[in-house]
Structure 1
């Protein structure tokens, strides 16, 4: 099981795909508040092959260590840099969701190792986030299932009940406990005043029916980024990469493959 260590904290990650001939086309997926790596099952597999995919597990979740909080954004950015070094990537495209999108913005500003950015359900200001809406104790499957009402539309939950069942199983196995959700939420800082410094080409993807981060906040984020592009996905909630996997993956291929 591949791990890397940052300041004594072991971060678990998984890789797939070979990328280009010289191995430089790497895509790193950064996870949302409290969620395990299951959340990238729809995207990482679809991109592996033309890209080398790297899926770290955010500190506090899954097989990564869970040091006591609160966490700092510097900790999470350092974790990303440690994983990049562990896989031998001088630079990478970064796809982040929610908290992971926020970390991606900071990484792009600080590390100089980010190529293109894709931000799902992400905002610049902590006031736009309601991570508690999707939080649940992974030891309580009923609470996990109920919390998905904040992440997935009713239409999806009804039509794709078997998928919802699998997500509940994955969340109970991989998600972080409530204390870690709070520790991760503490790491979010306001990026509004310095977004102009993030000059990487950025695609902001947002479910139009997002109940965790309003779509308007994602649109503002794209507007404030010098090279930001906003893409709203109709009839999708916060877990837009799950609900609208095919159109989201098509957009990722087109954007990262340019």
Structure 2
């Protein structure tokens, strides 16, 4: 799989779709990989040059010494775009990927066309919860948190009917390097973009999930109100709406980006 060697990190990425189409960058959530977007690839790659990547410390990207910061993770996106000769792109990020998108759109507006912020928040707290999680994975490994964390990614009713999907997501989380995960937890813990998002000028779509506990709809509504002209849509799912409602998610993204 392709690797982009940036200044201090090797980033794993995957391109799909016609190279003549507009580029859409997809940024994964904490503890997942580019494979979290598998349900969207077929639909989105018909309309866009899809650029998925593993956030630093995840999947096949390099685990560099932590802690990390959101500007550092956003800088990786800028570096990846530069490496691939892409001047400007649409950006879709979920949860931690969404926070990366907030930084990109506020700090580097010249690189972002349209922005999709899914199941995310300008501040995800409380900070002590993140510190506790960091300590746990460092001491006990990723398997110690997998079941509890993934239980918040899908609604209980949906998870009960799709045990194979739950197992798939748990395995993805368990395979995430503990140190990479911990370093990214600190990046999320220390991120506060409640003021910065007010400066975003890119047309923005905010997607929330009615059953999302980590980033509830109230956080999505805050983003939609704080970002000038942002649109808001609420799905029935939990934290990974793209996994629970893949077709609706893909259609919402396509419709918004082609407006």
CA deviations over 1:149-205 (Å, ceiling 9, x no partner): 1111111111122222333343344x242x333321322321112322101111010
User: Is 1:196 aligned with 2:205?
Assistant: no
CA deviations over 1:209-244 (Å, ceiling 9, x no partner): 10111210111011100121111112x100111001
Distance in 2 (alpha carbons) for counterparts of 1:125 and 1:143? 22
Q: Aligned residue for 1:245?
A: 246
CA deviations over 1:100-124 (Å, ceiling 9, x no partner): 1011111112221100011111111
Decide whether aligned partners of structure 1 residues 221 and 122 sit closer, same or farther in structure 2, where only a CA change above 3 A counts: same
Q: Aligned residue for 1:207?
A: 209
2:32 to 31, 35, 53: 35
Q: Displacement, 1:33?
A: 1.5
Distance in 2 (alpha carbons) for counterparts of 1:149 and 1:96? 21
Q: Aligned residue for 1:119?
A: 117
Secondary structure in 2 aligned to 1:213? coil
Distance in 2 (alpha carbons) for counterparts of 1:55 and 1:215? 26
Secondary structure in 1 aligned to 2:125? helix
CA RMSD of aligned residues (A): 2.3
Decide whether aligned partners of structure 1 residues 203 and 82 sit closer, same or farther in structure 2, where only a CA change above 3 A counts: same
Q: Matches of residues 156-167 of structure 1 in structure 2 within 5 Å?
A: 156-167=158-169
Distance in 2 (alpha carbons) for counterparts of 1:128 and 1:84? 33
Report the TM-score when normalising by structure 1: 0.88
Decide whether aligned partners of structure 1 residues 146 and 185 sit closer, same or farther in structure 2, where only a CA change above 3 A counts: closer
Asked whether the 8 Å contact 1:200–1:227 carries over to 2, the reply is: no
Q: Displacement, 1:35?
A: 1.6
Q: Displacement, 1:138?
A: 7.2
Distance in 1 (alpha carbons) for counterparts of 2:25 and 2:120? 16
Secondary structure in 1 aligned to 2:152? coil
User: Is 1:106 aligned with 2:94?
Assistant: no
Q: Aligned residue for 1:60?
A: 57
Decide whether aligned partners of structure 1 residues 186 and 171 sit closer, same or farther in structure 2, where only a CA change above 3 A counts: closer
